[in-house]
Chains A and B, each alone.
Chain A
Amino acid sequence: MTATVEERKATNKALIEEVLKAYPEKMAKRRAKHLSTFEEGRPDCGVKSNIKSLPGVMTIRGCAYAGSKGVVWGPIKDMVHISHGPVGCGQYSWANRRNYYIGTTGIDSFVTMQFTSDFQEKDIVFGGDKKLDKIIDEIQVLFPLNKGISIQSECPIGLIGDDIEAVSKKKSKEYEGKTIVPVRCEGFRGVSQSLGHHLANDAIRDWVFDRTDTGHTSQFVSTPYDVAIIGDYNIGGDAWSSRILLEEMGLRVISQWSGDGTIAEIENTPKAKLNVLHCYRSMNYISRHMEEKYGIPWVEYNFFGPSKIEASLREIASHFDDNIKAKAEEVIAKYKPLMQAVIDKYKPRLQGKKVMLYVGGLRPRHVIGAYEDLGMEIVGTGYEFAHNDDYQRTTHYVKDSTLIYDDVTGYEFEHFVEGIKPDLVGSGIKEKYVFQKMGVPFRQMHSWDYSGPYHGYDGFAIFARDMDMAISSPVWGLTKAPWKK
C-alpha cells in the first residue's frame, strides 16, 4: 500500500523527532534546522545549509582540500598538482574519483599520480617554502612536459604561515612565465568541500585568467558555436558521453572543466560563446566571473536521464541559431528509440521503487529525473555541502513530502533508512556497506560504483542497468537465513 502525501509527512516528522532525541539538547536544536519535509510551493527545502558540522558526529563531509585538489584541480591532466603538506591527504585522494583522461601518465598527464611535499617535523618548524621551491625544480627536471603546477595546501600550510604565493611567483618567473598556481585550500577552511571549490575557482581567476597571453591563446581561432563544458569531472567518462551530444548538435566544445581537461583548454575558455555548467555548486563562481568579465552567458544543464537531457539540449540550443536548434531535435530523435528500448526493458522491473539519496554537488537533485524516467520515486534526498541556492534549485525536482536532510549524520541516515525502508539508497563508499549489511540495495552515486558513465544517452543505459542490477540482485533474498524467516 502506497502511503498518501499526508501520511508520509507524518512519518517523516516522527522520524525527525525520533533522531533528534538522541542528541544532547543544544545539539538537537542545531540539527533540527537541517532536517525537514519538502512542502510543495515553498521556495526552498526548509533546511539550513553550509553551516559547520557538529563535532563528534559521523558527518560524511570532507574538506576544502578535497574540494580543490580532489574535485576542481586534480582532473586537469597536464599539470602536476602538489599535495603540499603531510603525506596523507594526497594518498587518500589518489586516483579514487575516477577522473578519466587520455594521456601518457607520468609524461604528459599526471592525474593518477600522487605528488606530495611529505612534510616532516622540520618543515613545520622551519616552514616549507624552501622545500616547495626545490620541489618545483625537481618536477621540472623529472617531468619536463608538464604544462603547469598547482600547489594544493593542506592544513599546516596556513597555520605555519608559509608564503606559497611568493614561491609561485618567483618560480613562475624563473621558468619563463610557467603557470604555477597556489591554492589556499587548507582542510580547516570553511565547513566542507564547498569552500575548496570556491577557492579553486578563485585561483583559476587570479592565477590563470589574469595572466598574460601564453601563446596558444592568440593562436586560437573562434567560431560562433564554441562552448565550454564546465563542472563535469569525467567520472567514468561522463564528460565524454556529454560532449558527444553537444558536438552532434553542431557545437564545438573548446574546453572541458576539468575532467580530461588541459590548462590550454582552461585558458581558452574566455573565448567561448556559452558556458554550459553541469556541477553548479563547484563551478558557478568561475562561470559568473566569466559572465561579468568576458560577457559569456552560462546555462545550467542536466544530462541524467532522457527527460532532462532532452530539456537541456533544447535549453542549450536556444542560445544559438535555428540550425543548432534543428540539430538538437535531430539528436533527441536519434536517441529516442534507444531510450525507449532502455525504458521498456527496465521500467517494468523498477516501477514504483523508492529511492533515498545522499550525495554532494548536484546529484541529490539532478539524478531524480533519471530515476523518474524509470518509474522510480525519490522519497528522501540531501546534500553533503549544498548552499541555500542548491536547495532552491532542488524544489524543481522533488515532490511534496520528500524527506530532506542536510549534512546528514551517520546516525540519522541509518534511522531514516530503517524507518522509510527504501528499495535503494544512492550515496557514497562510507555509507555503502552500512546499508548493504541492513539488506538494502545500494549504488555509489559519487563513483558510479566503478561503472559508468551515467551522463548523456549512452550513460543512461548504464544507469538503468545498474539500478536494476542493484535492486533485483538475488543476493537480497539471501540476507535472512531460511530458518529465521
Chain B
Amino acid sequence: MPQVADKVIDHEMLFREPEYQDLFEKKKAFEFNHSEATIGQTVEWTKTEDYKLKNFARDSLVVNPAKACQPLGAVFAANGFAKTLSFVHGSQGCVAYYRAHFSRHFKEPTSCVSSSMTEDAAVFGGLNNMVDGLANAYSLYKPDMIAVSTTCMAEVIGDDVDAFIKTSKQKGSIPEEFDVPFAHTPAFVGSHITGYDNALLGVLRHFWDGKAKTTEPLVRVPNDSINFIGGFDGFVVGNMKEIRRIFDLFGVQVNIICDPSESWNTPTDGEFRMYAGGTTKEEVVAALHAKATIVFQEFCCEKTSKFIAEHGQEVVTLNAPVGVAGTDKFLMEISRLTGKPIPAELEKERGQLVDALADSQAHLHGKKFALYGDPDQLLGYAAFLLELGAEPTHVLSTNGTPEWAAKVQALFDSTPYGKGCKVYPKRDLWHLRSLLFTEPVDFLIGNTYGKFLERDTKVPLVRLVFPIHDRHHHHRYPTWGYEGGLRVLVMLLDEFFEALDANTMAIGKTDYSYDIVR
C-alpha cells in the first residue's frame, strides 16, 4: 500500500512503487506485444540514415505537425478587437478545441461561440444556425462586434457567410448596423497563420471597404500616425506591452491593429471580464489614414499587407525580429517613418543587450540548434542565433512555403555561421526526429510538442514557440525588442547551464567541471 495520508504521492511516484511495477509486468501477458529484442532493434533502426531516407520519402502521411488549422488563427485575431465576440460558423467541436487550446497556453479563459451545425445543416446548409446563432450571441454576450469565421464543414458545403449575415439582419437577429466582419477560413487551406491573416483582413475590409456594400467605402485622409500589426504570436501578452513601450519612448502614437494582450491577461480580483482591451472600431477606422503600417510577421499577414498597401499606405514587413539587428531595423523604420530620432533610452537598452551578448556569447558560440515553428518566428530566432555565433542547423516549418525557405537560406548565406545550416519547409516533427538522430544538434527551440523529441533524442528543448502547455507564464514576457532579446538570451543560457550541470554532476566522476562560476 504505497499511499500514506501524511504524504500523498502523485502519479509521478505512485506508479514506481513495487505493487504497480508488478501490475505492469503481469499486464504484459495480455498485451501480446513484440519481443523486447524486436522493439530494441526497431528503436535503433529509427535512428539510422536508412530510416531517415524512408521517413523523408513519405508524401501523404503527416506525423506530429507543427501547425494548427485556419480558424484557430481567426479566433486569435478576433480576440484582439475590443468587445468582439468570435463566432465560428460550423460544427461546435472545433470551437471547444480552440478555446481549450488557447486556455492551455495562456492559462486564461477564451470566449468564442459556434453556430453548432449538425447533420441537418450539412444537408440543408447552415443558414438557420447563423440566424439563430447571431441572435443568441448578441443577446447573451452583448458584444460590440461579432467576428465570423468558418470551419472546414461550412466551407465544404459552401455556405455563403456574407449572404447569411445579411439574411440574419433582415430577420432581426441583430441590428442592421451591427458590425459583423467575416472571413472564410477553411481548415484544409494553409494553417493558423493563414486564418489570422484572413480574419484580420476581414475586419479591415469590413470597415474600410463599405461594410459588405452597405455603406460607402471610407476615403483615406493621410495623417502621420503609424499602425502596428503583430501577427499570431504566443508571446503576445508580453510582446504587445513591449511594443507599446517602445512606441511610447519614441513619443509616437501607435495604432495597434489586433491586440489580444489584455483579454488574455485579466486580473484575478473577483470579477470575470469576458472582454478586455483590444483594438476599438474607431481605431480600425483611423488606421486607414495612417502614414504607414509596420507588420511584424510577413508570412502571417500576406493578404492583409497587400490590402493595406493597396489602400495607399506604406507597409513595412519584418519577420518577428528578435535580438539586436532585428530590433535595430524595427527602430530605424519607426524613426524613418516618423522622422523622430531613436530615443536614448532604447539606445542604452541596445547597449545593455549587446553587453549581455558579449558576456555570454562564449557559451553559445558554435552551438547547434534545431528550430521549428511558424515561418516568421523562425526567421527571427535564426537571425538572433547567428548574431550569437550559434548555428541554427535545422530550421523546420510545417507551414513554411518555398518563398520562406529561400529567405531563410539567404539569411544562412549572409554569415559564416549559417554554413551547413539547412531549411526544411513543409516538414513535420517526425522528420525532425530523424534529423536529430542523423545530424545531431545541441539544443532544440520549439513548442511543448517538442518534449517528445527531447525525450527520444536527449536534446534539451527551449520553449519559445506556441503552444506552450507544459510550462507556465512564459507568454507574459516579451521575446521582441531589446528587452525580449535579453529574455530569449537568458532562456537559451539557462538551458545551456542546466544541461552542463546535469552532465557534470556525477560525484567523483565528472563533477570536476561542476563549476560554481561561469
Given contacts A56-B134, A243-B23, A430-B103, contact A155 B38 (CB under 8 A): no
Point out the residues of chain B lying under 8 angstroms from A481, CB to CB.
269
Query: A57: CB under 8 A from chain B?
Result: yes
Is A369's beta carbon under 8 Å from chain B? Answer: no
Q: Which residues of A contact B71 (CB under 8 A)?
A: 88
Asked if A113 is at the interface of the complex by the 8 Å CB criterion, the answer is: yes
Please tell me if A44 contacts chain B, counting CB pairs below 8 Å.
no
B97 touches A433 (CB 8 A): no
Is A470 in contact with chain B by the CB < 8 A criterion? no
**Does B116 sit at the interface, judged by CB under 8 A?**
yes
A433 near B108 (CB under 8 angstroms)?
yes
Q: A22-B139, A216-B32, A458-B3 are in contact. Are A160 and B156 (CB under 8 A)?
A: yes
Least CB distance from A387 to B in Å reads 16
Q: Which of A92-100, A203-211, A298-306 contacts B (4 or more CB under 8 A)?
A: A92-100
B497 within 8 A of A: no
Q: Does A479 contact B (CB under 8 A)?
A: yes
The yes or no answer to B253 lying at the interface (CB within 8 A) is no
Q: Does B42 contact A (CB under 8 A)?
A: yes
**Interface contact B109-A437, CB-CB below 8 Å:** yes
With A55-B130, A113-B63, A434-B109 known to touch, is A247 a contact of B26 (CB < 8 Å)? yes
Q: Is the CB of A154 within 8 A of B152?
A: yes
Q: Does A189 reach chain B (CB closer than 8 Å)?
A: yes
Stretch at the interface among A61-69, A282-290, A392-400: A61-69
A113-B64, A438-B270, A458-B3 given; A144·B452 CB < 8 A:
no
CB–CB B65/A116 < 8 A: yes
| Chain B residues near A104 (CB-CB < 8 A) | 39, 43
Q: How far is the CA of A307 from the CA of B64 in the complex (A)?
A: 43
Among B15, B104, B134: residue with most chain A CB under 10 A: B15
A86 touches B100 (CB 8 A): no
Partner among B43, B91, B98, B115 whose Cβ is within 8 Å of the Cβ of A107: B43
Asked if A200 CB lies within 8 Å of chain B CBs, one says no
A120 within 8 A of B: yes
- Chain A residues contacting B10 (CB-CB under 8 Å) are 451-452, 462
Q: Within 8 Å of chain B (Cβ to Cβ): is A52?
A: yes
Instruction: Say yes or no: is B113 at the interface (Cβ < 8 Å to chain A).
Output: yes
**Known contacts A27-B132, A155-B152; A264/B32 CB under 8 A:** yes
Q: Determine whether the beta carbon of A89 is less than 8 Å from that of B67.
A: no
Q: Are A118 and B62 in contact (CB under 8 A)?
A: yes
Contacting pair B133 A479 (CB below 8 A): no
CB distance from A393 to the nearest CB of B (A): 25
Residue of B nearest to A247 (CB): B23
| Chain A residues with CB under 8 A of B32 | 216, 262, 264
Interface size bucket, A side?
Answer: 35 or more
Q: How distant is the Cα of A266 from the Cα of B152 in the complex, in angstroms?
A: 33
The stretch that binds B, out of A310-318, A321-329, A334-342, A348-356, is A334-342
Minimal beta-carbon separation of B472 from chain A (angstroms): 11
Stretch at the interface among B52-60, B225-233, B288-296, B402-410: B52-60
- Judged by a CB distance under 8 angstroms, whether A410 is at the interface is yes
Instruction: Please judge, given known A-B contacts A88-B69, A254-B30, A479-B268, whether A64 and B20 are in contact too, CB under 8 Å.
Output: no
Could you say which residues of chain A place their CB within 8 Å of the CB of B110? 430
Contact A135 B469 (CB under 8 A): no
- Which of A94, A240, A436 has a CB less than 8 Å from the CB of B449? A94
Residue in chain A with minimal CB distance to B151: A155
Distance from A139 Cβ to chain B, minimum over Cβ atoms (Å): 6
Residue of B nearest to A439 (CB): B270
Scan B436-448; emit 1 where CB is below 8 A from any A CB, else 0: 0000000000000
Cβ contact within 8 Å between A105 and B153 = no
Contact of A135 among B60, B109, B152, B271 (CB under 8 A): B60
A50 at interface by CB-CB < 8 Å: no
User: Chain B's nearest CB lies how many Å from the CB of A484?
Assistant: 8
Q: Which of A125-147 contact B (CB under 8 A)?
A: 131, 134-135, 138-139, 141-142, 144-145
Measured CA separation A131–B60 after assembly (Å): 6
Shortest C-beta distance, A81 to chain B (Å), equals: 12
Nearest CB in chain B: distance from A219 CB, A: 8
Which residues in A have their C-beta under 8 angstroms from that of B152?
A: 85-86, 119, 124, 154-156
What residues of chain A lie closer than 8 Å to B101, measured between beta carbons?
A: 92
Q: Is the CB of A187 within 8 A of B14?
A: no
Knowing A188-B91, A338-B5, the reply to whether A56 touches B26 (Cβ < 8 A) is no
Tell me whether A96 and B100 are in contact in the complex, defined as CB-CB below 8 angstroms, given that A142-B58, A433-B107, A453-B11 are known contacts: yes
Residues of A within 8 A of B358 (CB): none
User: Please, which residues of chain A bring their CB within 8 A of the CB of B58?
Assistant: 138, 141-142
Chain B positions within 8 Å of A479 at CB level: 268-270
Q: Are A87 and B68 in contact (CB under 8 A)?
A: yes
User: Which listed residue, B30, B67, B134, touches A268 by the CB 8 Å rule?
Assistant: B30
CA distance A351 to B304 in the complex (A): 57
B42/A188 in contact, CB under 8 A: no
Nearest CB on A from B148, distance (A): 11
Distance of A61 Cα from B187 Cα, bound (Å)? 20
A429 at the interface (CB under 8 A from B): yes
Query: Given the interface contacts A56-B134, A87-B187, A156-B188, does A65 sit within 8 Å of B65 by beta carbon?
Result: no
CA distance A61 to B269 in the complex (A): 28
Residue of B nearest to A57 (CB): B136
Chain A residues positioned under 8 Å from B97 (CB to CB): 62, 66, 88-89, 92-93
Chain B residues within an 8 Å CB radius of A118: 62, 65
Give the complex CA separation of A18 and B270 in angstroms.
Answer: 21
Q: Which partner residue on chain B sits nearest A193 by CB separation?
A: B93
With A145-B34, A458-B3 known to touch, is A86 a contact of B69 (CB < 8 Å)? yes
Max chain B Cβ within 10 angstroms of own Cβ: one of A87, A188, A191 = A188
Task: Kindly list 17 other residue pairs between chains A and B, CB separation below 8 angstroms, not including A216-B32, A256-B27.
Answer: A24-B135, A24-B136, A55-B117, A55-B133, A56-B135, A58-B112, A58-B141, A60-B96, A65-B93, A78-B31, A92-B100, A131-B60, A188-B118, A341-B4, A429-B103, A433-B103, A464-B8
Q: Which residues of B contact A (CB under 8 A)?
A: 1-6, 8, 10-11, 14-15, 19-20, 23-24, 26-27, 30-34, 38-39, 42-43, 46, 51, 54-55, 58-65, 67-72, 87, 90-94, 96-101, 103-104, 107-119, 121-122, 128-130, 132-141, 151-153, 156-157, 186-189, 191, 266-273, 430, 433, 449, 452, 455-456, 469
| A-B residue pairs in contact (CB < 8 Å), sample of 16 | A55-B133, A56-B134, A58-B113, A87-B191, A100-B11, A107-B43, A116-B62, A123-B188, A141-B54, A142-B51, A264-B30, A429-B100, A430-B109, A432-B109, A438-B272, A481-B269
Going nearest first, the 4 A-B pairs with the smallest beta carbon separation are A63-B93, A88-B69, A56-B133, A55-B133
